[in-house]
Amino acid sequence: MAEVPVGALHHVELWVPDLDRAVAEWGWLLAALGYGVHQRWEAGRSWRLGPTYLVVERSPALIGDVHERRRPGLNHLAFHGGERTAVDALVAACPDHGWRPMFADRHPWAGGPDHYAGYLENSDGFEVELVATPQRT
């Protein structure tokens, strides 16, 4: 494996109120983005892509059951989504997998005229941004 640069993201851990739902929703999206199952344990799962992995866990230390992306803390995760057609296909398929498109009236330009992306929100209120590879001019 190539050396990982200092400062590169190692992992992200999301605490979720419903593990089964999170595994279904995040598992679909992460698999579509090229992640593979990394770890499984009673209270959680993780998926890895290269040196980075994402964890969903129903921790016994969780003190609430609602994520609100507009409060201080995590607002969203942004992933490289591939070509525009791949981003559009994920956005189109997301309702069948527990996600809903956000900013549908402005898709795919909700981030501005030079930023082609899809924005999704899952059942627990987590937002994901799928950023398309810039087109060569």
**How far apart are alpha carbons 57 and 43 in whole angstroms?**
6
Structural domains of the chain ordered from first start:
7-59 (3.10.180.10), 75-137 (3.10.180.10)
pLDDT by residue for the chain (137 residues), tens only, comes to 678 999 999 999 999 999 999 999 999 999 999 999 999 999 999 999 999 999 999 999 999 888 999 999 999 999 999 999 999 999 999 999 999 999 999 999 999 999 999 999 999 999 999 999 998 76
**How far apart are alpha carbons 41 and 61 in whole angstroms?**
16
**How far apart are alpha carbons 94 and 85 in whole angstroms?**
14
pLDDT for the residue 135:
83
Considering the entire predicted model, what is its pTM? Answer: 0.94
**How far apart are alpha carbons 110 and 36 in whole angstroms?**
29
